[in-house]
Structure 1
Amino acid sequence: MKILLLEDDIQFQESVCEYLQMLGYDVDCASDGQKACDLIASNFYHLFILDIKVPKISGHEVIKYIKNLNLNTPIMITTSLVDIDDMAIGYELGCNEYLKKPFELAELKFRVAELMRKYYSVDDKNVIKLNGGFEFNTSKRVLQKDGALIDLSAKETDLVECLVSHLNMYVSMDELREFVWGDKEIDGADIRMHVLKIRQKTSNEFITSKRRVGYKING
């Protein structure tokens, strides 16, 4: 599970980042709002943890940017601001959680785990529950149903992992070529064949498709 952390206090940023990584999360860090927006534009995240009073672009403006991209990714605000108006603005813009500084790292752990559970049905932080009763373990990179392992090839596993990392979002053919095949020469028929084989091993509804849009797996 991937998290973007926006925090301009470098020492505190490093502390929070290291703690989240110790918990098993993949974390990108930004020290100003512009850097955060740049990262959001080029990466997929499962959670945004945003400070408000940061250089260049405020955390509130970053939330507006996220919403303009039509992302449904959960957002947690971490700030020392105590004015109720600032909290109200954050919630009105679409944040899902508020954590007032200073906070204990253990509290952050539980807040993050709860958001992951709520939005991605994640009980074990490495296990993502998918439609049809399937589960994907992001640490072991295995797909299971009712405890039974689904026998996927290496490339089929890469493809499922890519779609799971973009859960509930369509991934285009070009994006699949980049993420799964590294922009190697592979035509659409080959990608469709890989999808067909995965469906044969799971169900016809496991991977959904939309013409000229791409493929997705729903949680």
Structure 2
Amino acid sequence: MAQKNRIFLLEDDTNLSETVAEFLEEEGFDVETAYTGTEAEEKLYETRYDLLLLDVNVPEVNGFELLKTARSQGVDTPAIFITSLDTLENLEEGYESGADDYIRKPFALKELLLRIESLLKRNFSHKKSPHIEIAPGISFDPVGSTLYKEGEPASLQPKELALLKLFLSRAGEVIGHETIYEHLWGYEETPSESSLRTYIKNLRKIIGKDKIVSIKRYGYRYQP
């Protein structure tokens, strides 16, 4: 029997939490829930999940801060925010904190399911999968975390590797500088814009300049 995907749900509205959890369990997922940000932090520290569903306005630690902290600690699990916040600023803050998707309340359960399935198909951070072809003769092995060029491993610094994995997991998306900094530099490290430019330059030399597009004054987009 195939192992079920594990979903973590943070939602302080008990009725909505039960409704979403029951629906997803009927669709074949294992679902674990939490009702406060502090409770969620503990569970994310203890357990590895396949996908995170996070409400924003929850007691103690809000969803944005929760995910931002988790990303800084190396948690790369795909995450969807479910929230009633609907301004452009809210949307930007959600993506800047490391979200992969954002769904506004009220939402149809079927739409939520489609978004979950889409993210799980894209995610490769901790699953066995075939090499990801980047360009002719260039591929990435997500299991061994190795970039290959013409069949030979390419030498990458740890932060260059982390940056490549971030780009591949969010292919086609515009990723802001702050999000990149949070993924590449640890809690006690100071992000460096010049170092980031060097990492981008080195990756472009290997995978092609046109694969990483600069978005002026905002960030970068990996072009699949």
What TM bracket, shorter-length normalisation?
0.5 to 0.7
Using a 3 Å threshold, how does the CA distance of structure 1 residues 169 and 14 change in structure 2: closer, same or farther? farther
Give distance in 2, aligned partners of 1:168 and 1:13: 34
Give distance in 2, aligned partners of 1:168 and 1:85: 36
Amino acid in the other structure paired with 1:82: D
Amino acid in the other structure paired with 1:130: S
SS of the counterpart of 2:31? Answer: strand
- Is residue 2:112 matched to residue 1:113? no
Alignment partner, residue 86 of structure 1:
90
RMSD (Å), alpha carbons: 2.3
* 8 Å Cα contact 2:24/2:31 also seen in 1: yes
Deviation at 1:42, TM superposition (A): 0.3
Alignment partner, residue 77 of structure 2:
73
Deviation at 1:105, TM superposition (A): 0.4
Amino acid in the other structure paired with 2:61: I
SS of the counterpart of 1:76? Answer: strand
Using a 3 Å threshold, how does the CA distance of structure 1 residues 88 and 66 change in structure 2: closer, same or farther? same
- Is residue 2:16 matched to residue 1:12? yes
Alignment partner, residue 39 of structure 1:
43
- Is residue 2:23 matched to residue 1:24? no
Give distance in 1, aligned partners of 2:69 and 2:18: 25
Alignment partner, residue 184 of structure 1:
none
Give distance in 2, aligned partners of 1:98 and 1:24: 22
| Cα distance per residue 1:26-46 (max 9 Å; x no partner) | 111010111110000000011
Deviation at 1:66, TM superposition (A): 1.1
SS of the counterpart of 2:52? Answer: strand
Deviation at 1:131, TM superposition (A): 4.0
Deviation at 1:82, TM superposition (A): 1.3
Give distance in 2, aligned partners of 1:111 and 1:131: 23
| Cα distance per residue 1:79-130 (max 9 Å; x no partner) | 0011221111111111000101000000011000000011149xxxxxx753
Using a 3 Å threshold, how does the CA distance of structure 1 residues 55 and 116 change in structure 2: closer, same or farther? same
Give distance in 1, aligned partners of 2:116 and 2:130: 23
SS of the counterpart of 2:123? Answer: helix
TM-score (structure 2 length as normaliser): 0.55
Alignment partner, residue 175 of structure 1:
none
Q: What are the ranges of 5 or more consecutive residues in structure 2 without an aligned counterpart?
A: 132-141, 146-224
Give distance in 1, aligned partners of 2:93 and 2:129: 33
Alignment partner, residue 130 of structure 1:
129
Deviation at 1:61, TM superposition (A): 1.0
* 8 Å Cα contact 2:128/2:143 also seen in 1: no
Alignment partner, residue 59 of structure 1:
63
Amino acid in the other structure paired with 2:81: I
The number of equivalent residue pairs is 131
Give distance in 2, aligned partners of 1:43 and 1:32: 16
> What percent of counterpart residues are identical?
35
